[in-house]
A = this chain, B = another copy of it.
């Protein structure tokens, strides 16, 4: 940490800062600049707490050099992590995976049709929500455990592993009995208790980026899961909230190659929620692959116009098959 002193700070104030640093068993080193002095703190391992210094006079700013995460950082773990969902491998530079299926499980017929269709189309993992986070209480909230069981049955029959969202701690154990991978949604990215409990389980997790989460916060959320002992984490970019509302959210594709330099955990992209318009999905799915994403997740529904949620952004099975043909051209096998 660097403590930047005021332009007018007195030598006594600088000395008091250094004394306070030494009282912590650390070393303070003055860095006299042109306009002001800064004091560097030496000897720390990990994040330095500002609190012992806050009440001192003459301080203008604290600059943290150490980040609030470590286990997720490529700096401390240079090799790519490979996440295994059933027999599917997800990782930077591996063949990108496609996760597909309806926003919500709605009926046996719907999910079985979807499961077979996405499997045949080339998806490697089936998605489907049973517990749906909805903005208001007066809309369809999902089929619950019955939905989880139908999803699992459909996946088994079609021969494809499944991922589904969990929203509360008391769902974890029961859902994990059926699912191959759990999803933590954007609204729960900082539901730290949920993260801590998922951390104790030995099951892969898709951790969506919160709608207004910085990369640092997203990585710190993943750090909760890794520090609990579970390193099978896939990060999923799904669009952020900005001033622009012509599309639902702003898909932040630039983070994909950037995150690859920062973390060993794979990043996939969900274009469906950010765009909210069916015809735009294939464009952005394609773009996700060419920026190096480890996979994409898309919403597919046997009959989008009857979908109980996210209909406008759901691909039909025909759309999906055409997307898969298209995507095949954009992965060159170079792993970059």
A residues at B contact (CB < 8 Å): 2, 4, 6-8, 29, 31-36, 38, 40-47, 50-52, 54-55, 61, 63, 65-66, 68-70, 75-76, 78, 131, 133-139, 141, 167-170, 187-188, 190-194, 196, 211-212, 214-217, 220, 223-224, 227-228, 240-247, 250-258, 261, 271, 274-275, 277, 279-280, 283-284, 286-287, 290-292, 304-308, 311-312, 329-330, 332
A75 and chain B: residue at smallest CB distance: B7
Copies of this chain in its oligomeric complex? 4
A310 and chain B: residue at smallest CB distance: B51
Q: Can you offer 12 A-B residue contacts whose CB atoms are under 8 A?
A: A2-B65, A6-B75, A38-B40, A54-B311, A135-B217, A137-B220, A214-B244, A242-B242, A250-B250, A253-B253, A253-B287, A256-B283
Are A31 and B34 neighbours in the complex by a CB distance under 8 Å? no
Are B243 and A257 neighbours in the complex by a CB distance under 8 Å? no
Are B29 and A34 neighbours in the complex by a CB distance under 8 Å? no
Chain B hits for A255, CB < 8 A: 244, 246-247
Q: How far is the CA of A76 from the CA of B261 in the complex (A)?
A: 40
Does more than half of chain A's interface fall in helix, strand or loop, or is it mixed? loop
Q: Which of B190, B196, B242, B253 contacts A243 (CB 8 A)?
A: B242
Q: Which of B65, B187, B244, B329 contacts A38 (CB 8 A)?
A: B65
Are A31 and B35 neighbours in the complex by a CB distance under 8 Å? no
Q: How far is the CA of A292 from the CA of B279 in the complex (A)?
A: 13
Are A227 and B138 neighbours in the complex by a CB distance under 8 Å? yes
Are B215 and A244 neighbours in the complex by a CB distance under 8 Å? yes
Chain B hits for A212, CB < 8 A: 211-212, 241, 243
Chain B hits for A66, CB < 8 A: 33-35
Taking A31-B42, A34-B45, A245-B245 as known contacts, 6 extra A-B pairs with beta carbons closer than 8 A to each other, sorted by chain A number, are: A8-B78, A32-B43, A34-B66, A63-B65, A211-B212, A242-B243
Are B308 and A51 neighbours in the complex by a CB distance under 8 Å? yes
Chain B hits for A35, CB < 8 A: 45-46, 66, 75
Chain B hits for A131, CB < 8 A: 193
Are B290 and A330 neighbours in the complex by a CB distance under 8 Å? yes
Are B304 and A133 neighbours in the complex by a CB distance under 8 Å? no
Are B50 and A214 neighbours in the complex by a CB distance under 8 Å? no
Q: How far is the CA of A290 from the CA of B96 in the complex (A)?
A: 17
Chain B hits for A136, CB < 8 A: 47, 68-69, 220, 223-224
Q: Which of B50, B65, B170, B244 contacts A311 (CB 8 A)?
A: B50
A2 nearest CB across to chain B (Å): 6
Are A246 and B304 neighbours in the complex by a CB distance under 8 Å? no
A197 nearest CB across to chain B (Å): 9
Are A42 and B32 neighbours in the complex by a CB distance under 8 Å? yes
A246 nearest CB across to chain B (Å): 5
Q: How far is the CA of A280 from the CA of B260 in the complex (A)?
A: 10
